[in-house]
Amino acid sequence: EAEVAQSPRYKITEKSQAVAFWCDPISGHATLYWYRQILGQGPELLVQFQDESVVDDSQLPKDRFSAERLKGVDSTLKIQPAELGDSAMYLCASSRDRDYEQYFGPGTRLTVT
Amino acid sequence: AQSVTQPDIHITVSEGASLELRCNYSYGATPYLFWYVQSPGQGLQLLLKYFSGDTLVQGIKGFEAEFKRSQSSFNLRKPSVHWSDAAEYFCAVGNILTGGGNKLTFGTGTQLKVEL
């Protein structure tokens, strides 16, 4: 069964450093989502791609966060500089074009010290 | 704006007992509703979804949920809980975007503990 791949699974970084997360969606899925999940809360959408285009990045802190999906397949989420409040689980999900079901990856647990 | 409320932060049940997790939503149109489960340190797995039609939907692992428009609720149920059901459960409402895809708004989750 196809799955969404994410790496790394865990990342510890010092504040003010740069950090990047990678996501490879299920093959053929046009829509890719990045979520942030703070401990004890539900996931919150950061950015959504349709192929290589951003559909929604209204909740992405653009002063420090950036996301790209250059060829419309895999995607990278970057934080620079990282802050203590960025400690969270970063989840990637994908779905078929105009499909309603999102498939989630295992996530990247980020700890900023 | 759409929103989801899960009023129970923690629930403890005995193995074999029945389970009901509450979910209330706020959405202007016909909602698309979902229940996801998350095991510790893992991503989310879809349990079931409601788009239209029969208001009682069946999902994986023996779960079901009932959509009640008059109460703006979509409660998750299971007749007999297994120890492996211990996890965090998230209710979500979806908003289909004209540009493609489906924007999910999640509740804060209910942590389920199962006593043996």
CATH code of the domain containing B99: 2.60.40.10
Q: How far apart, in Å, are the Cα atoms of A59 and each of A19, A36, A75, B81, B86?
A: 19, 10, 17, 37, 31
The superfamily in CATH containing domain A5-112 is Immunoglobulins (2.60.40.10)
Percent of chain A with pLDDT over 70: 97
Inter-chain touch B102–A42, beta carbons under 8 Å: no
Q: Quote the CA–CA distance of B44 and B14 in Å, as a whole number.
A: 24
Q: Quote the CA–CA distance of B116 and B113 in Å, as a whole number.
A: 10
For residue B89, give its domain range. 3-115
The answer on pLDDT for A97 being more than 80 is: no
Closest residue on chain B to A88 (Cα): B41
Closest residue on chain B to A35 (Cα): B104
Among partner residues A4, A43, A100, which is closest to B32 by beta-carbon distance?
Answer: A100
Number of domains into which chain B is organized: 1
pLDDT digits (tens, 9 = 90+) for B66-113: 999 999 999 999 999 999 999 999 999 987 766 666 788 999 999 999
Closest residue on chain B to A47 (Cα): B103
Q: How far is B94 from chain A (nearest CA, A)?
A: 8
> Residue A65 has what pLDDT?
97
Report which of A67, A55, A63, A56 is spatially closest to residue A21, judged by C-alpha positions: A67
Inter-chain touch B99–A41, beta carbons under 8 Å: no
Question: If you average pLDDT over residues B29-47, what whole number do you get?
Answer: 89
Residue A51 backbone zone (phi > 0: left; psi -120 to 50: alpha; other: beta): left
